Structure 1
Amino acid sequence: MLTAPDILRTTDWDQTFHAYGSAADAPEGLSALLREDPDALSTGMYYFHSAILHQGSVYPATPPGTLFVAALLDDLVRGRWVPAGGDDAERWRVALLDTLREVAESAATDESDAELAELAELPEAERREILAAMRADDDEVWEDPALEAMTWQALADLRAAAPALLEAARPLLAHGDSATRLRAVEAASAIARLGRLDVDLSGSVASARGRDETAAVVLALGELGHDTSEYLTHHDPAIRACAALAPARSGDPAATRELVAALADPEEPERWFTTDLACFRGRYTLVSTLADRSEPADAGRLLPVFRALAAHAFLHSAEIDCGPLLRLAFPRREDGGARTGGLSDVQRAYLAALVANDGLWPGTFSSVSLLLGGLDLPTDREALRALAEG
């Protein structure tokens, strides 16, 4: 792999663009990471995430920018470069690994290589015109439909870069620092999914220490399609729940039971981990997965879960806590008319659980109103109570 300075020097940046136009400024923006400045990491990462990976969107400048980050990590691991404030190398390793993971997650797509190539087809003359308009700061260029093809090309380029990105992250799977190993597992998993690559996590399984790192490994194994069933009998309920989240465990009754058990106390999953894990967002991950794997006919069986969630929900968490299972109990109807009656006992019980929580009813239009309105249900508490009581 080229060194990070080599990538800055050899990339034809003005033949790419980012969220704000021509990427001719990328060498200056990214080189902030190389400066002898105690704020180098925050300055450089701000540029990367504001321009190169703006709000999770990729641009033609994203592939070379990401290769620069991977090269910087490689330089750090191999001792070719020591960052400013080098005594805090863990912070740098984690930030660079997180950035590689975020790019990989943003660039993952279901299209085959051939489909990507077809979607990225663009006459060279059109490509040059767009780049010239970017360099001229012509705002109208953002309306050009040809930009879509260039985005597809960026996705194809990132998939092609995945082996190099993975090689930068791989050595850190065996690092002596637990926090670094955890982030390396998350990054390697996301990059492998991006590039449709194999990555051996057996060493990570063996070296995992503590709940957070073990959970990250189990989640990564699940995302990569490995069998996590052995972890469904783990002594730790958090690890069992992470094993249950694996896509391959969809339809497994044992996994479903673990998800239901994990939500018996909706506050408990929020306390499981001391680290924010990439593939786990507290009880929302659990309830949304449970809902995705269920059918409307399962609403009655899941009523105790919904009651627990509705009792713990507050005004701004209504969509996250109640939305997935409420939509399961109230599937969209073809007529799209307001629901004024004819509800089942289970549906009325779902509504009664919402009505019972005073914290969901501030007296003004809220996220609860949006949730209910989207399901053709009354947005007024008393009207909902009347519907629940039949």
Structure 2
Amino acid sequence: MDTAPDILRTTDWSRTFHAYGPGTDAPKHLAALRSGQDSKVADALGYLYSAILHQGTVYPATPPAVLHVAGLLSDPAADRPVHGVFDEAMGAGAAPLRQHLLRFLADVAWSVAEVCGGYSDAELDALADPGERRGELDAFLERMARSEDGDADDGEEVWEDPLLETVMNTVLRDLRRAAPVLLEAVRPLLTHRDRGVRQRAVTAAGALSRMGGGLALDLSGAADYAESRDEGAAIVLALAESGGDTAEFLTHQDPAIRACAALAPSLTDDPAATTELRTALLDPAAADAWFADRPGYFDGHVRFSMVKALVERSESEDAPDLLPVFQALAAVSSAFTAERDLQGLLSLALGRERRSAAAPVEYPTELQRAYLRALVDSDGLWDPGTADFTFLLKGLGLPPVRESMRSLAESS
């Protein structure tokens, strides 16, 4: 892999663009990561998350930027503590730049894996092939740059051109191809002297393995260094993302480690893993408080990931067994988190995976009424100033007013 400065010089940035325009401004922003000036480094980290990875979307400027970031991981300048985009999630105070860079690599990897995780390498190659329009590609990229700048009069047409989809698929393909190189840059940090760096290196390695289609991942060295529940959980989660077998951890003495092991896709059909998720969610507040330094695998509250996995592994026939979980979640949920906390389980209880969501619920069963009573009893859900929960209820054919819900829950 080229060194970080080499990538800035050798990349033709005029053939790239990002969320806000042509990629020609990337060298200036990326070079600032090595400036040693706090404000410039902070701005550069912000640029990574606003332009290069914008709300989970990657662009043609993303692959060279990611390679540049990976090249900085071994730079002594990455030891410098800086404030970044996710200071609260990174722990109190400033964290070494290296930790911020590792988090960025993991976030890119998760975004790519979410979009193309189901595609084989051959399928991605086919999607990235412009076919008969290969000769138009350079001109198209130039038009993209002009339209992003606001100088082109065909901006709308550019964004509607089918060639744009080909370009974006090329980005996904290139990032997957880069996964082995990126993983190799992260590997030495799995045994870094700094615990925070080790943990984020483990998380990034797991995410990159997943982005690369299940690249082999040896975490034995990291396991030897693990000093806390947080590190141990990060290792189990990375093993899960790489496609490894985490079954041995289902009997671990620590409930947090058991639950992390249960999240592994390899255990989707394992009843013991499903039971572990249900058990953990009977006390969702405790699960959310498991970690002092929450592994980056978790997007928000720890319970969100467990609920998602449990819903994916369940059917409407499981609704009686899931009722205690739903009641526990409803008690801690809010209008802002109800979609991730409750929607999936409530859909199962209402049989909405097989019925039109537009059909109103008029004659709920006794079991369904129990689910509805859990909603009625939760003060945190009924925030009059927040419409999120109202939209959720309407989408499931339920009354968006608490008293109307109470009447439905008490009907026979």
| TM-score band w.r.t. shorter chain | over 0.9
**1:194 alignment partner AA:** M
In the TM superposition, what is the alpha-carbon distance from 1:295 to its structure 2 partner? 0.7
Instruction: Tell me the number of residue pairs that the alignment of Structure 1 and Structure 2 aligns.
Output: 384
Matched, 1:306 2:326: yes
Aligned equivalent of 2:396, options 358, 362, 375: 375
Matched with 1:215 is 233
In the TM superposition, what is the alpha-carbon distance from 1:300 to its structure 2 partner? 0.6
Cα displacement string for residues 305-337 of structure 1 (whole angstroms, at most 9, x for unaligned residues): 111111222332222222221111012254542
Q: Within 5 Å, which residues of 2 pair with 1:1-390?
A: 1-74=1-74, 76=75, 79=76, 82=77, 85=80, 91-108=96-113, 109=116, 110-122=118-130, 123-136=133-146, 137=149, 138=152, 139-140=155-156, 141-196=158-213, 197-280=215-298, 281-332=301-352, 333-334=354-355, 336-341=358-363, 343-363=364-384, 366-390=387-411
**Shift in alpha-carbon separation, 1:84–1:41, aligned structure 2, 3 A:** farther
**Shift in alpha-carbon separation, 1:17–1:314, aligned structure 2, 3 A:** closer
Cα displacement string for residues 261-309 of structure 1 (whole angstroms, at most 9, x for unaligned residues): 2122221011110113222231111222112111101111111111111
- In 1, the alpha carbon distance for the partners of 2:393 and 2:125 equals 43
- In 1, the alpha carbon distance for the partners of 2:126 and 2:185 equals 29
In the TM superposition, what is the alpha-carbon distance from 1:373 to its structure 2 partner? 0.9
Task: Give the CA RMSD over aligned residues.
Answer: 2.1
**2:360 alignment partner AA:** A
Select between 263-272 and 127-136 the one with higher mean Cα deviation: 127-136
In the TM superposition, what is the alpha-carbon distance from 1:163 to its structure 2 partner? 1.5
**Shift in alpha-carbon separation, 1:365–1:184, aligned structure 2, 3 A:** closer
In the TM superposition, what is the alpha-carbon distance from 1:84 to its structure 2 partner? 8.8
**Shift in alpha-carbon separation, 1:203–1:35, aligned structure 2, 3 A:** same
Select between 157-166 and 358-367 the one with higher mean Cα deviation: 358-367
Identity of aligned residues (%): 51
Q: TM-score by structure 1 length?
A: 0.93
8 Å contact from structure 2 (residues 250, 273) kept in 1:
yes
What SS does the corresponding residue of 2:314 show, helix, strand or coil? coil
8 Å contact from structure 2 (residues 72, 78) kept in 1:
no
Matched with 2:89 is none
- In 2, the alpha carbon distance for the partners of 1:352 and 1:170 equals 50
8 Å contact from structure 2 (residues 82, 97) kept in 1:
no
8 Å contact from structure 1 (residues 310, 357) kept in 2:
yes
Select between 309-318 and 22-31 the one with higher mean Cα deviation: 309-318
In the TM superposition, what is the alpha-carbon distance from 1:145 to its structure 2 partner? 2.2
**Shift in alpha-carbon separation, 1:254–1:6, aligned structure 2, 3 A:** same
8 Å contact from structure 1 (residues 38, 85) kept in 2:
no
- In 1, the alpha carbon distance for the partners of 2:195 and 2:269 equals 33
In the TM superposition, what is the alpha-carbon distance from 1:251 to its structure 2 partner? 2.5
**1:376 alignment partner AA:** G
**Shift in alpha-carbon separation, 1:135–1:263, aligned structure 2, 3 A:** closer
**1:5 alignment partner AA:** P
**Shift in alpha-carbon separation, 1:379–1:253, aligned structure 2, 3 A:** same
Q: TM-score by structure 2 length?
A: 0.88
**1:288 alignment partner AA:** K
Gaps of 5+ in 1: none
In the TM superposition, what is the alpha-carbon distance from 1:53 to its structure 2 partner? 1.5
What SS does the corresponding residue of 2:100 show, helix, strand or coil? helix
- In 2, the alpha carbon distance for the partners of 1:315 and 1:17 equals 37
Matched with 2:86 is none
What SS does the corresponding residue of 1:181 show, helix, strand or coil? helix
What SS does the corresponding residue of 1:39 show, helix, strand or coil? helix
In the TM superposition, what is the alpha-carbon distance from 1:364 to its structure 2 partner? 6.0
8 Å contact from structure 1 (residues 250, 293) kept in 2:
yes
In the TM superposition, what is the alpha-carbon distance from 1:365 to its structure 2 partner? 6.5
- In 1, the alpha carbon distance for the partners of 2:135 and 2:187 equals 40
- In 2, the alpha carbon distance for the partners of 1:317 and 1:124 equals 46
- In 2, the alpha carbon distance for the partners of 1:63 and 1:16 equals 10
